Amino acid sequence: QVQLQESGPGLVKPSETLSLMCTVSGGSISSYYWSWIRQPPGKGLEWIGFISYTGSTNYIPSLKSRVTISIDTSKNQFSLKLSSVTAADTAVYYCARAGSSFGADALDIWGQGTMVTVSS
- The C-alpha atoms of residue 40 and residue 45 are separated, in whole angstroms, by 8
Distance of closest approach, residue 47 Cβ to other proteins, in angstroms: 4
Q: Which of 10, 54, 61, 86 binds other proteins (CB under 8 A)?
A: 61
- Least separation in angstroms between residue 110's CB and other proteins is 4
HSE, side-chain direction, 13 A CA sphere, residue 25: 7
**Which sign does the torsion angle of CA 55, 48, 78, 98 carry?**
negative
Q: Does 93 bind other proteins (CB under 8 A)?
A: no
Interface residues toward other proteins, by CB under 8 A? 35, 37, 44-47, 49-50, 58-61, 94, 102-108, 110-113
